[in-house]
């Protein structure tokens, strides 16, 4: 049993020595025999979409872009009162999420007449 353990330990030591030797031959790291390869890439995307459904009065759009830890975007939508809400936002790890909301247009609410009928039980 001890012989098997010694053989396994020798194989692992040989493999470890071979790995450190081969990584140092790749030009890595300050004479220590290690090379650090960074496999992380910064996230990056852009997207944009819009909906214009006049039948159901659904009109909105959104665009956003991200590079690394910074996200920047804007969306707008037509409110039922006739105004347009525009939201511009930015987010990053240092400042958190920040949004600026703007409203364009004048709110118009439909006038609804209410008729009240009273019953006289006499």
C-alpha to C-alpha distance for 65 and 44, rounded to whole angstroms: 7
Predicted local confidence at residue 3, as pLDDT: 67
Least confident window among 22-31, 56-65, 74-83, 109-118:
22-31
Question: Strands, E, within 5-107: which ranges?
Answer: 44-53, 58-67, 70-78, 84-92, 96-104
Mean of the pLDDT values across residues 93-117?
88
Largest CA distance in the chain: 112
Give kind and range of the element (H or E) at residue 74. strand 70-78
**Residue 1 banded pLDDT, cuts 50, 70, 90:** low
C-alpha to C-alpha distance for 53 and 60, rounded to whole angstroms: 9
Query: Is the sign of the CA dihedral 87, 92, 94, 97 positive or negative?
Result: positive
Contact 99, 87 (CB under 8 A): yes
Least confident window among 17-31, 88-102, 106-120:
17-31
pLDDT reading at 77 higher than 60: yes
pLDDT in tens, 26-62: 444 455 677 877 777 888 999 999 999 988 888 999 9
User: Which one-letter DSSP state was computed for residue 31?
Assistant: G
């Amino acid at each position: 049993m001890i012989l098997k353990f010694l053989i396994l330990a020798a194989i692992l030591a040989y493999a470890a020595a071979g790995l450190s030797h081969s990584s140092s031959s790749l030009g890595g790291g300050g004479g220590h025999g290690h090379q650090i390869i960074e496999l992380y890439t910064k996230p990056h995307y852009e997207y944009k979409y819009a909906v214009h459904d006049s039948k159901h009065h659904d009109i909105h759009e959104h665009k956003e872009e991200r590079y690394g830890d910074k996200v920047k975007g804007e969306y707008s939508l037509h409110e039922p009162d006739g105004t347009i809400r525009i939201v511009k936002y930015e987010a990053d790890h240092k400042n958190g999420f920040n949004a600026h909301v703007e409203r364009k247009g004048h709110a118009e609410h439909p006038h609804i007449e209410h008729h009240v009928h009273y019953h006289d039980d006499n």
